[in-house]
Amino acid sequence: MRVTIDEDKCCGYAACLSVAEKVFDLAADNIAAVLVEHPQGELADQAREAAAACPTSAIILLDDTE
């Protein structure tokens, strides 16, 4: 899995941090930053939870082949 952020959609609500604080951080411009681009195991589960929790669907999860 590869995690990316659509910076045009991210509104800095930080819901992603509350469920996956090891995968995401908020940059100074209040846009989410990806700390672990290729999460495995528990962190991959947290990244999926964060994508589901993001109110603007700004978190994009890709197959590693994409």
Tell me which residues touch ligand SF4 (CB under 6 A).
Answer: 5, 10-16, 32, 54, 56, 58-59
User: What's the CA gap between 49 and 45, in Å, rounded?
Assistant: 6
Q: Judged by CB, which is closer to ligand SF4: 12, or 21?
A: 12
Rounded to a whole number of angstroms, the minimum distance from the CB of residue 65 to ligand SF4 is: 23
Select from 7, 20, 8 the least CA-distant residue to 52: 20
Q: Judged by CB, which is closer to ligand SF4: 29, or 65?
A: 29
Torsion of CA 53, 55, 57, 62, to 10 degrees: -20
Rounded to a whole number of angstroms, the minimum distance from the CB of residue 3 to ligand SF4 is: 10
